[in-house]
Structure 1
Amino acid sequence: MRDFIAEADQALLERHGLNAFEQLWELELDAVDEPNTGRGGWSSVYRLELEGKGYYLKRQSDYLTRTLYRPFGEPTFAREFRNISRYQRLAIPALQAVFFGERRINGERCAILMTRALDGWSDLDALLSDWPTFKPAQREAILKACGNLARVLHGAGQVHGCFYPKHIFLRARADGYQAQLIDLEKTRPLLFGLRDRVKDLEPLLRRASVWSGADIRLFLSTYLDQTQDSSLVDTWMQRLTLRRRHKEAR
């Protein structure tokens, strides 16, 4: 597989001599947190700034995921990069890849995934901590942005798999909020219709515990493209409540 370099970032990487796997692999940077060391290898994340633009450079070695189609495993970044590319083709708002490549180094399967940093964006988790201080119009705009994002995601036939507040990033704009997704490793096609959709949304609503019943109705009415007093919204409220109770009872 050839290395991927985003056309919009290629000239910038070339100016800094970082347009090849080897240079990015050997670049000395401080990790933003402790490396993951499960799966028989390691995986680490670094922050990189070039000419005022922020990036996250992720490197891993023998950090593999195994599936029915890839029983011998593949780097987790390979799966995430495929999903990033799929989201882009399907016009689902999500993080953008700048570089991806794989190599065998000393017998180990190594991979690099570089993405644009979401500077100027806030994850929903952080916004929820300030929820009581927001004015009604700001809350409404955030709820609608999240509902629209979920509608686009499922409308494109995809399940995120980790539709949590920390994976939804938002940015204020003149007409409301923009929303997009990160952490696409567990994304898969939406195969089981309603069951998949409820399963994907319930973790968000369970973690967004500061949302009132009215907040959830607004989120669902946007997601379903229905009025807030719609019977369909009532049905979804019931389904999500039942699943939440089931999860909490386990």
Structure 2
Amino acid sequence: MTRKPFIAVNAHEVLQRHGLDSMDALWALQLEAVDAPNTGRGGWSSVHRLELDDANGTSQHFYLKRQDNHCTRTMHRPLGEPTFAREFRAIQQYAREGIPALEAAFFAERRVDGRAQAVLLTRALDEYAPLDEWFERWDRLAVADIRMLIRSAAALVRALHNADRIHNCLYPKHVFLKLHTDGAGARFIDLEKTRRALFGERDRIRDLETLHRRSAEPSRSQRLRFVLAYMGKTRLDNEARDFVRRLLQRSAGKGARA
């Protein structure tokens, strides 16, 4: 059984033009996978790049994600559901709350012979690069560009936390940034594990510690600049010192358990 799919208004014409406005059509597409399929959770999950010309001859770029019995179980869904279903709901929630993130173009799920299947099509963020790729050229970037990227990343995480949410897997590869003439833009990807900040600041510290621990390139002063931008401060005061202390304490604890 297949439920009625979600199709974004700005994607309907190009998908219909290519006969790809159904789950069956997108499921049947023969494409080369971007990475090796994930075969965990008792099924498989794959990601493919899809480029389609619209009526004006402009190429629109997407990532097509497909899953077969690649499920997660929660208290609310003890029998399990595709992880892309969780990500699709999160994408919609982020959009409603004004948190910049990837955009969904199509989503559908179904059960076939007892197996849960899902298709999620998202817009490619071709103008952006993940933070870990920016780190690869960190020492070649202009100081002004580094500061702009730090402020942009800090504002993105602050917007998320102000909405009482955490990413819950805040690695540099999940923070996409771009530089442009008016500053920098930022978006989150990979929202499968995002959730409410049930434990308040402890959860927010946990999110930030993950990003801190996984980011090898920034100097101590650059990391401090990030924290101050995140907190909306221009200088290190007692509140900021206490926040940094708690962040470093959690990082030291994680290092001791590693």
TM-score bin, normalised by smaller chain: over 0.9
Q: CA deviation at 1:234?
A: 1.3
Q: 2:210 aligns with which of 194, 203, 206?
A: 203
Give CA deviations for 1:28-74 in whole Å, capped at 9, x if unaligned: 11111111111111111111000111100011111110011111100
Q: Give 2:229's aligned residue.
A: 222
Q: 1:189 aligns with which of 196, 202, 227?
A: 196
Q: Give 1:12's aligned residue.
A: 14
CA distance in 1, matches of 2:80, 2:151: 39
Matched pairs, number: 250
Q: CA deviation at 1:130?
A: 1.3
Cα RMSD for the two superposed structures? 1.0
1:112 and 2:119 matched: yes
Q: Give 1:231's aligned residue.
A: 238
Give CA deviations for 1:53-108 in whole Å, capped at 9, x if unaligned: 11000111111100111111001111010000000000000000000001122332
2:231 maps to a residue whose letter is: L
1:55 and 2:57 matched: no
**C-alpha contact 1:46 1:57 (8 A) present in aligned 2:** yes
1:29 maps to a residue whose letter is: L
1:150 maps to a residue whose letter is: V
CA distance in 1, matches of 2:64, 2:120: 6
Q: Give 2:27's aligned residue.
A: 25
Q: TM-score with structure 2 length normalisation?
A: 0.94
SS at match of 2:117: strand
1:108 maps to a residue whose letter is: R
1:231 maps to a residue whose letter is: N
SS at match of 2:217: coil
Q: Give 1:65's aligned residue.
A: 72
SS at match of 1:235: helix
Q: For structure 1, which segment, 168-177 or 74-83, has the greater mean C-alpha deviation from structure 2 after superposition?
A: 168-177
SS at match of 2:208: helix
**C-alpha contact 1:206 1:244 (8 A) present in aligned 2:** yes
**C-alpha contact 2:145 2:179 (8 A) present in aligned 1:** no
1:136 and 2:138 matched: no
1:215 maps to a residue whose letter is: Q
1:131 maps to a residue whose letter is: W
CA distance in 2, matches of 1:90, 1:211: 30
- The percentage of aligned residue pairs carrying the same residue is 48
**C-alpha contact 1:217 1:233 (8 A) present in aligned 2:** no
1:148 maps to a residue whose letter is: A
**C-alpha contact 1:198 1:240 (8 A) present in aligned 2:** yes
Unaligned runs of 5+ in 2: 54-58
Q: Give 2:107's aligned residue.
A: 100
CA distance in 1, matches of 2:223, 2:167: 19
Q: For structure 1, which segment, 149-158 or 219-228, has the greater mean C-alpha deviation from structure 2 after superposition?
A: 219-228
Q: CA deviation at 1:148?
A: 0.3
**C-alpha contact 1:217 1:228 (8 A) present in aligned 2:** no
2:172 maps to a residue whose letter is: P
Q: 2:169 aligns with which of 162, 169, 173?
A: 162
Q: CA deviation at 1:209?
A: 2.1
SS at match of 2:45: strand
Q: TM-score with structure 1 length normalisation?
A: 0.97
CA distance in 1, matches of 2:30, 2:213: 40
